[in-house]
């Protein structure tokens, strides 16, 4: 646990949350500033800054993610669910305790849209693959 982490405080019950699900590994609660009805956060109880800081043996906390997302979809009668996870400030991470946004979606709600997509060039693809495998 990290003392000044707001999500650790939620885990410890020092800050209230609208909790949907909790077990020994994870806590799932409604986001305080929802972007859709039922927008929730799925977090490990253990503090990790980003997904990159989770050791491979601890990643099992993710096992409940599909079940919780499905239950949330049913509860909100959503037509779909986005699962969004941000790492580092440049990617939009504001709270540095790893978390997954579960965002119930409805057709044409216009909430999350990818910007216009480019075209993958062969040279770029080969460059990335070469560096990645190095």
- Catalytic residue set: 99
- Residues 67-106 contacting ligand AMP, CB under 6 A: 86, 92-95
Q: Which stretch binds ligand AMP (CB under 6 A): 24-32, 44-52, 57-65, 126-134?
A: 24-32
Running DSSP on this structure, what letter comes out for residue 116?
A: P
Q: Which of 15, 60, 67, 125 binds ligand AMP (CB under 6 A)?
A: 15
Under the binding rule (CB under 6 A), the answer on residue 111 touching ligand AMP is: no
Could you tell me which residues come within 8 angstroms of residue 98 by beta carbon, excluding any fewer than 6 positions away?
Answer: 43, 44, 48, 49, 50, 51, 53, 54, 85
Which residues, in sequence order, are CB contacts of 15 under 8 Å at separation 6+?
6, 9
> Out of ligand AMP, Zn ion, none, which partner does residue 82 contact, by CB within 5 to 8 A per kind?
none
Residue 54 binds to ligand AMP (criterion: CB under 6 A): no
CA 86 from centroid of its chain's CA atoms? 7
Which residues of the chain form contacts with ligand AMP (CB under 6 A)? Answer: 6, 15, 17, 29, 31-33, 41, 86, 92-95
């Amino acid at each position: 646990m990290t003392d000044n982490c707001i999500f650790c405080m939620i885990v410890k019950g020092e800050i209230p949350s609208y909790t949907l699900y909790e077990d020994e590994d994870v806590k799932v609660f409604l986001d305080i500033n929802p972007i859709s009805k039922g927008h929730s956060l799925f977090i490990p109880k253990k503090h990790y800054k980003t997904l990159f800081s989770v050791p491979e043996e601890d990643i099992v906390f993710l096992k409940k993610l599909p079940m919780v997302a499905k239950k949330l979809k049913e509860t909100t009668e959503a037509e779909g669910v986005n699962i969004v996870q941000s790492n580092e400030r440049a990617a939009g991470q504001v709270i540095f305790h790893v978390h997954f946004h579960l965002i119930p979606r409805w057709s044409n709600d216009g909430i999350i849209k990818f910007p216009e997509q480019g075209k993958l060039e062969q040279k770029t693809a080969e460059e990335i693959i070469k560096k990645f495998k190095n």
